[in-house]
Amino acid sequence: MRCPKCGGGDTRVIDSRMQDATNAIKRRRECRSCGYRFTTFERCEDPIEVMKSDGSSQAFDRNKLLVGLMRATSKRDIDLATLNGLIDDIERELRSRTLTAVTSHELGDMVLKRLEKIDKVAYIRFASVYRDFQNIEEFLSELDKLR
């Protein structure tokens, strides 16, 4: 593991803890060159395929989902831990299924279901991109559903 501060490749693990909620291992590391301490997460690589509407597929990417959520929650009072928790919850639900694939439509609906409970404005922002609103009527229809 390379040090994010100096780029040195000689780091040591100070502490490891299992994250039950995310099925990950959290490791505190220290760079032997500069002494900088940082945290890494180790997750099981068991790919979940996302089937796109155009027929293509790609591996589930939590970072891509996080970027979309960060855009939807921009300038809202929602911290990164909440967004990571939302993604962890979705990933946990996906991994509990016997199927290893999910459609992008199902994934978007899973996000919207959770966003609705967190922040209605973020929900509308995410829905406007995910559902590809083409006019104001579609936007108003979604707002009416929230009421």
The per-residue pLDDT for range 99-125, each reduced to its tens digit, is: 789 999 999 999 999 999 999 999 999
Q: For the chain, give the mean pLDDT.
A: 89
- 24 phi and psi, to 5 degrees? -130, 165
CB atoms within 10 A of CB 68: 17
Look at residue 144 in the predicted model and tell me its pLDDT.
Answer: 87
One-letter identity of residue 67: V
Query: Distance between CA 4 and CA 123 in Å, rounded?
Result: 34
Give the start-to-end residue ranges of the domains of the chain. Answer: 1-44, 46-146
Q: Per the structure block, which two tokens stand in for 91?
A: 């990933």
